[in-house]
Structure 1
C-alpha cells in the first residue's frame, strides 16, 4: 500500500468564502498543505492570508470547466506528488421559485455548478488516488437534497444528485482504498444568499434570519467534516433537528409527507 496516508495534502473548491474558507482554516490547523481554488480571486487571496504555518497553493478555477480542475490537479501533482483529500465544496444558492417560474437556464446553472462541479472534481482526482493507492473524497451536499422543500427544485435536485453520486462512489471506489464522505448541512451562517435569485426580497431576508439562528457555525461544520474524514464516516448530518427529520422521513415517509405539507402551507402562499 502507498504511504499516502502519512501525507497531509488537501484540495478545496469554493475556498474563497464561507464553509470553504473555514475548511481551509481547519485543515491548516491540522498541518495540511492546502490547494485552494475559487472563481473569486479576491476572496481566495483573503482566505490564503488568513492561514498561518502551512504551505498553500491558490489557483483560479471554475468548477464548470473540467479543464480548470485538470490543470489544478496537474499542478498539485507537480508540486506535491499527489493529494490525500479533495473537498468538492463550491456551490450557489440558485433560483427560488415554482417549477413553472424558474427558467431552464437557471436550472442549468445550478446543476452545472452544484452537481456537475462535484462530478468534475471526482473525475479529475480519482485517477490520482488510484495511482497513489488511496485517498478521500468529501462532497458537500445539503439537507435540502433529503428534505426537498418547495420552490427550491433545482437546488434540491442538484444536492440529491450529489448524495446519489457519493453513494455510488462509496461502493465503486472502495476496492481502490478511496473513502467517500457526503455532508448534508442545513442552514448556518454563510454567504449563500448572495447567490440566491428570487423575485421576492422577503425570501432572502427569511433565509438570512434562519441562518443567523443556527446553533452551529461554518467553523463547527468544518471541524465535523475533518473528524468524519478521520473516522471514514460516510454521511454527515451536522444539524440535530435535520438528523431527526431524516430518520422520520426514512422510517415514516407518509407521516413525514403529511407533516411537511401542513408546514409548507403555513410558509408559502398558493401559487
Structure 2
C-alpha cells in the first residue's frame, strides 16, 4: 500500500538498506536511523531517487533518548509510523572462556536491549494509532546452536523470545510482530565483528560469501511478511530444516547432526611442523 511509513534502525547499509529500498520501491515513505552518516547519506540518495519521501536520522540504539527523538520526529513529519524495524546489530565470536564480560555487555546492549528500547518507545505510539507492526531482526543463531558464538546466539535467542512474547501481548492492540531469522548471507555484519580468534573472522567471511541468498532476497521476505502479518520469517531452506530437526528429533540425535554440520564454524588450524 502506498504512502505507508516505515522506520528502520541500522538502515544505512546491509540488510537495513535492502529493506529500506524494498519498501521504497513499493511506495512507502522511509526513515532510516543509523550511526554512519556517510552511508546514511548514500542510502538516502538512493531512496529519494525512487520518488518517495525519505529522511535520515542519526540514531544510536543504545540510547533510548535517540529512539524517543526518532518517534517525535516521525510524529511531526508523518503523524506516526506504521512499521518499525529493529534491525541494528553487531557480531561477536569466540570460545566461552575467552570472551570478556565487557564484550558480553557490548553485544547485549546493542543486539538485545536495542530491540527492547525500540519496542518500549514505539509501543505507545502504535497503541495511540490503533495499529502498528514490529519487525525484529534476530538470526537462525537464535534458534539453533552455532558453536564459538555464545554471546551472539544468546542475544538473538532473546530477541526471538521477546518477539514471541510481544506477539501475544500486543495482539489485542492490533500490533503485529514479525521476527526475522536468516542464516548466513552476504552482508556487512563482519564489519562489526569482535572476536578472540582472528581465524574466526576468516571463517565468518567465508560463510557469508558462500550464501546463495542475498540481503535483497531477505528484504523481499520481510516485505511479504509485513503484507501478510506473518510472525516467523525464515528465509534459508537449510535453516528451516535444521530448526525442524531441533524441534522434533531426540536431542542426542539432533546434537550429533548439528555438530557435524557446524564443524565448519571452527577455525581451521595449520598443521604443526614436525
Classify the TM-score, shorter chain.
over 0.9
Matched length: 265
Give the 5 Å matches for 1:26-65.
26-51=22-47, 52=49, 53-65=51-63
Aligned residue in 2 for 1:177: 174
Aligned residue in 1 for 2:234: 237
Measured on the aligned residues, the alpha-carbon RMSD in Å equals 1.6
TM-score, normalization by structure 1? 0.94
Cα 1:267–1:47, aligned 2, differ >3 Å: closer, same or farther? closer
Cα 1:69–1:267, aligned 2, differ >3 Å: closer, same or farther? closer
Q: Which runs of 5+ in 1 are unaligned?
A: none
| Alignment partner of 1:9 is 2:16 | no
Cα 1:119–1:253, aligned 2, differ >3 Å: closer, same or farther? farther
Cα 1:149–1:46, aligned 2, differ >3 Å: closer, same or farther? same
Aligned residue in 2 for 1:122: 119
Distance in 2 between residues matched to 1:128 and 1:216, nearest whole Å: 34
Give the 5 Å matches for 1:192-211.
192-211=189-208
| Alignment partner of 1:24 is 2:20 | yes
8 Å contact kept, 1:92–1:113: yes
Aligned residue in 2 for 1:228: 225
Distance in 2 between residues matched to 1:262 and 1:228, nearest whole Å: 32
Cα 1:165–1:253, aligned 2, differ >3 Å: closer, same or farther? farther
Distance in 1 between residues matched to 2:58 and 2:101, nearest whole Å: 27
8 Å contact kept, 1:7–1:84: no
1:259 paired residue among 257, 260, 267: 257
Distance in 2 between residues matched to 1:167 and 1:124, nearest whole Å: 18
Distance in 1 between residues matched to 2:67 and 2:19, nearest whole Å: 19
Q: Which runs of 5+ in 2 are unaligned?
A: 268-274
How far the C-alpha of 1:260 sits from its partner, in A, is 2.1
| CA deviation vs aligned residue, 1:83-135 (integer Å, no higher than 9, x gap) | 000000000012x1111110000000100000000010011111111001111
How far the C-alpha of 1:201 sits from its partner, in A, is 3.0
How far the C-alpha of 1:249 sits from its partner, in A, is 0.4
TM-score, normalization by structure 2? 0.93
What secondary structure is seen at the aligned counterpart in 1 of 2:203? Answer: helix
Give the 5 Å matches for 1:42-191.
42-51=38-47, 52=49, 53-94=51-92, 96-191=93-188
| CA deviation vs aligned residue, 1:217-241 (integer Å, no higher than 9, x gap) | 1011001100011111100100000
Distance in 1 between residues matched to 2:28 and 2:11, nearest whole Å: 15
Aligned residue in 1 for 2:213: 216
Distance in 2 between residues matched to 1:229 and 1:267, nearest whole Å: 32
How far the C-alpha of 1:35 sits from its partner, in A, is 1.3
How far the C-alpha of 1:7 sits from its partner, in A, is 5.0
What secondary structure is seen at the aligned counterpart in 2 of 1:114? Answer: helix
Name segments (4+ residues, structure 1) moved above 6 Å. Answer: none
What secondary structure is seen at the aligned counterpart in 2 of 1:161? Answer: helix
